[in-house]
Amino acid sequence: MRQKLIGFDIVALIQIGFLFGTLSQCMGQADQTRGNSNRRIILAALQPVLLADKEGSRIEYAAARCSTNPKSSLFFPADIIPFPQINVKSPKQGQSGVAAVGEMFSDDKGVRVADRVPGVVDITIGDVPDAILGVRISSLKLRRTERYDPAAAIGAIEQTKEVDAFMRQTNMSLPPILGGLITPPLPELPHMRSHLTNVTFGEALDLIAKTFGGIVVYGTCERPNNLFYVDFVSLQGGM
């Protein structure tokens, strides 16, 4: 009888463990779904305001935890670094530019809006560890495809020796994310200059946002993995 009872206890513990594991995985997937939904809501709200003023934007945010679900989507970075839920509303009639964007987030004290760079509205959500954006790049020559494709340009910046060295020193890494725009290098299309010198990582991202008229998103999470990602969202192509 004792052996059967012990056997039953072991089976029961295994079943309980499986139940909690499944529940934890479902909760993680729910967090990812909310992260993507939050991101879509914010980007969709910003789209008409930025389009009307022909401005770009840079959004910075930090997640409390990175997703540990190995099935996280390779195409949606907010699956891995969940986008926070914040309050957003419509701007007042007649407002434009940074004033309109500031009004949109005025009910959320954790959001700061600034226009440090002409033509780029800077939005910071919470306390964001962004030391990597201050890394100064001495020289970067962009290939032709990188000049016309914002995703490729971001990739080139991330692979510079200065950014790579900082990532190694701070044990930062990029999540495995696929996707991006595939833009043919036609002369009449917006494009970056071929050579960037003495610019910070953040300044280069602002240049991308301004050149291509879109939103650059920088997301980071320090636990359990020290991850960050940079993504470009076109205002013309939907959210």
Average pLDDT of the segment spanning 95-100: 92
Asked if pLDDT for residue 39 goes beyond 50, the answer is yes
Entry field: residues in the chain: 239
Asked if pLDDT for residue 147 goes beyond 50, the answer is yes
Q: Which of 91, 98, 92, 88 is nearest to 53 (CA)?
A: 98
Bigger pLDDT: 16 or 6?
Answer: 6
Average pLDDT of the segment spanning 89-97: 91
Average pLDDT of the segment spanning 199-209: 97
Rounded Cα distance, 83 and 103, in Å: 20
Among 5-9, 108-112, 142-146, 223-227, the range scoring the smallest mean pLDDT is 5-9
Residue 27's pLDDT is what?
A: 37
The model's pTM is: 0.80
Check: CB of residue 214 under 8 Å from CB of residue 232: yes
Among 22-26, 32-36, 94-98, 232-236, the range scoring the smallest mean pLDDT is 22-26
Span between the terminal Cα atoms of the chain, in Å: 63
**Mean pLDDT, rounded, of the chain:** 81
In this prediction, residue 92 has a pLDDT band, given cuts at 50, 70 and 90, of: very high
Q: What is the 3-state secondary structure (H, E, C) of the chain?
A: CHHHHHHHHHHHHHHHHHHHHHHHHHHHHHHHHHHHHHHHHHHHHHHHHHHHHCCEEEEEEECCCCCCCCCCCCCCHHHCCCCCCCCCCCCCCCCCHHHHHHHHCCCCCCEEEEEEECCEEEEEECCCCCHHHHCEEEEEECCHHHHHCHHHHHHHHHCCHHHHHHHHHHCCECCCCCCCCCCCCCCCCCCCCCEEEEEEHHHHHHHHHHHHCEEEEEEEECCCCCEEEEEEEECCCCC
Average pLDDT of the segment spanning 61-85: 74
Percent share of the chain, pLDDT over 90: 57
Asked if pLDDT for residue 215 goes beyond 90, the answer is yes
Q: Which residues contact 152 (CB under 8 A, 6 or more apart)?
A: 143, 145, 146, 180
Average pLDDT of the segment spanning 43-59: 93
Asked if pLDDT for residue 34 goes beyond 70, the answer is no
Average pLDDT of the segment spanning 70-80: 60
Q: Which of 219, 194, 232 is nearest to 79 (CA)?
A: 219
Check: CB of residue 121 under 8 Å from CB of residue 105: no
Torsional sign, CA 89, 87, 216, 76: negative
